[in-house]
Amino acid sequence: MSPSEQDARIIIDDQLRQAGWELTDPLEVRTQVPIYESTTFREANAEYDGDSSSSHPTGFADYVLYGRNNRPLAVVEAKKQALHPYIAKQQALPYAQKIGAPFIFLTNGELIYFWDYRQDDARPVDAFYSQRDLKRIIHLREEKKPLSTALIPDFYLRQGESREVRPYQKDAMRALDAAMELGKRRFLIQLPTGTGKTDIIALYLKRLFDAGRAERILFLVDREQLAKQALEALQDILTTHGTYWLKSGGERHEEQITICLLQTMISRYQEYSSGYFDVVIADECHRSIYGAWQSALTHFDAVHIGLTATPSEFIERSTFEFYECGRTEDGKGFKADFSLPIIDAFKHRHIVPYKFAEGITKIAAEGAQVEEEEYDPVQFEKKWTNDDTNRKMMEEFDKIAWQNYKELAPLQKVGPGKAIVFAITKHHAARLAEYLNDLHKDLKGRYAEVITSDASDPDDLIRKFKNETYPMVAVSVGMLDTGFDCREVLHIVMCLRVRSPNLYQQMRGRGTRTCPPIGKRGFVIYDFFENRKYFNDTEANIFTGAGWSASGGPSEPLRPGTKKLVELGLEDEWLYAVNYVEVGPEGEQIDKREYVSRWLRQSRMKLRMIPYSQRLESNPRASAKKSLRSTCSQMKKNVSSQRGLTSRRCISTKII
């Protein structure tokens, strides 16, 4: 061998050791194995049996990896670093075929290709497979059944209740089936928040196990709360399959399903061979598959499934590109392998609809000038604050929530129902929670709770918020905006400017889950910073834009030693009153004032159609107000029958 070939072999030897191969044991690894024209399995092992019937080999396999039964598992063809290993395919193939090795590795020490030549083309991998990996693949191949034999259930048990497998969930599993059968190894599922992505995956993994298609699964998340929710769902649905959470510094188990934080796996993935897992799932993959995090995924040569409600399309952060998605029909964008449009999810009541209670104060919208000092509204709660502004937002939210929670969830026993308040900084969150607790002094500080990473036990606070009556309101910064599952949430309060399309949709999605126990019909987004207008989000044109932005989202709290916020101490007022945005006849948005005007127009038309209207026209001095009141009962029935006039509360407003 040339010096460059010797250098490559030194690296390859080390890589094989890292994968668990014992190079000094000829029962596991043999080098320079002669290949004869008429080589059989017995002849390939002749020098170890003391019986060689041929003296003219046609070539030598650089390495042959063996199983414990002394049968060849893989041929390793080594090239010097100047050569690309892919070109050695046709040299290695006859070697593997003659000795009956089902797999081939092609490498130059820098690049490694794995070739299951009976199934697919060679593909780059991060490291060699272990002996156990190769034997497991052979076992799965022997046990493999058509996915059609693993029936998709109509119902499943979750959290002690029977749930129906929805049509789109069945369609998602069928789409995965088709991709698996075609040999696709990366798959993206895009579903709106609240439509049960984790449940779909758990049901699908059960089918893979039943069909002999997988034995080891890795479920990656980037937040502890997501890990807990995944563990709960997988253990709930896959009761006969071992599932555990691999924590930082924790002992590695040999369970079928491993749940792990990306932050943990990035420092531990080298403990595993590239072929250790059959399927790798990345939850909320739109934010966790880029940069340094990506190595924790690509190390594993497995089927990769990404789950997200908001994929990113930016070149440097393209979720679609990583999962090798195809282009849209017009060729201008990409599409997920399976997706459910949010419009369809609302239409079929898979998720509950929402409406806005929107309003903004003058100081939040325009900033302020104090002693010739200009205070930019964008720097609110970052460089300056105003106590009255924050109090007004909390008082308005609390008042509206208590007035209307029974319309949102008739079976909700304790008002006003669960709420999440999104703040700008952790200091901001603390003050908002304090204002809310001041409004409910009888609860002695239990009404609202700050849930951030700074809390002494955020996991316990989340558990209480989800399972107990109090706290009723969770105030948070960057912790509950994505992946947080609480079906009872009726109120989403945005006390910050949001300019990230993905973050906006994730925040909105915290309220979309259905909740039959409380009869949940919808939820309200209290938008105090005109985020809806920025994204043009209406019920008729629901915002679903993709993208990513580093600005406009929650910021970190003030660091010790930094300049404190300037308290303006000004009395604030509403730039425009907080109003609901309702749904009109064809889905267009209308506010209360437009609603009332339309009601009055139609009322006058209806008055002409009833006998009393004749007396009204013959007596010009009659009070229109008195006439309207005297016929209010009839009008309510007539007007409410018109399509799109959905707000009973508006009919009885004082304007009328």
The percentage of residues in the chain with a pLDDT greater than 90, rounded to a whole number, is: 59
Task: Please state, in angstroms and rounded to a whole number, the distance separating the CA atoms of residues 259 and 238.
Answer: 14
Average pLDDT score over residue span 225-242: 92
Distance of CA 140 to the CA centre of its chain: 30
What domains sit in the chain, N to C, each tagged with a CATH number? 3-132 (3.90.1570.30), 147-344 (3.40.50.300), 352-583 (3.40.50.300), 592-651 (no CATH)
Band (491; pLDDT cuts 50, 70, 90)? very high
Enter the tokens of residue 404.
């209307």
Enter the tokens of residue 590.
């209308």
CB atoms within 10 A of CB 595: 23
Q: What is the pLDDT of residue 48?
A: 44
pLDDT one-digit tens code per residue, 302-355: 999 999 888 876 645 678 888 888 887 777 778 899 999 888 998 899 999 999
Q: For 385-401, give the secondary structure using H, E and C.
A: ECHHHHHHHHHHHHHHH
The DSSP 8-state label assigned to residue 357 in this structure reads E
3-state secondary structure (DSSP) of residue 277: coil
Residue 350 and residue 338 in contact, taking contact as beta carbons nearer than 8 Å:
no
Residue 543 and residue 535 in contact, taking contact as beta carbons nearer than 8 Å:
yes
Beta strands across the sheet bearing 418-422: 448-450, 473-476, 418-422, 489-494, 523-527, 354-361, 574-583, 589-591
Cis bond before residue 471 (omega within 30° of 0): yes
DSSP states of 3-53: HHHHHHHHHHHHHHHHTT--TT-TTTEEEEEEE-TT--HHHHTHHHHT---
3-state secondary structure (DSSP) of residue 475: strand
Residue 226 and residue 284 in contact, taking contact as beta carbons nearer than 8 Å:
yes
Does 584 score more than 60 pLDDT? no
The model's pTM is 0.78
Enter the tokens of residue 179.
């991709």
Residue 319 and residue 286 in contact, taking contact as beta carbons nearer than 8 Å:
yes
Average pLDDT score over residue span 380-393: 95
The percentage of residues in the chain with a pLDDT greater than 70, rounded to a whole number, is: 81
Enter the tokens of residue 63.
């390495």
Q: What is the pLDDT of residue 161?
A: 86
pLDDT one-digit tens code per residue, 91-109: 999 999 999 999 999 999 9
Task: Please state, in angstroms and rounded to a whole number, the distance separating the CA atoms of residues 193 and 211.
Answer: 29
Average pLDDT score over residue span 367-385: 92
**How far, CA to CA in Å, does 433 sit from each of 148, 402, 404, 445, 552?**
53, 17, 21, 9, 22
Does 420 score more than 60 pLDDT? yes
Q: Which of 243-257, 389-403, 590-604 has the lowest mean pLDDT?
A: 590-604
pLDDT one-digit tens code per residue, 433-469: 999 999 999 999 999 999 988 888 888 999 999 999 9
How many residues are given for the chain? 656
Average pLDDT score over residue span 536-561: 54
Band (210; pLDDT cuts 50, 70, 90)? very high
Average pLDDT, whole number, for the chain? 83
Q: What is the largest CA-CA distance in the chain?
A: 124
pLDDT one-digit tens code per residue, 163-186: 999 999 999 999 999 988 888 999
**DSSP H or E run through 405:** helix 387-408
Residue 255 and residue 274 in contact, taking contact as beta carbons nearer than 8 Å:
no
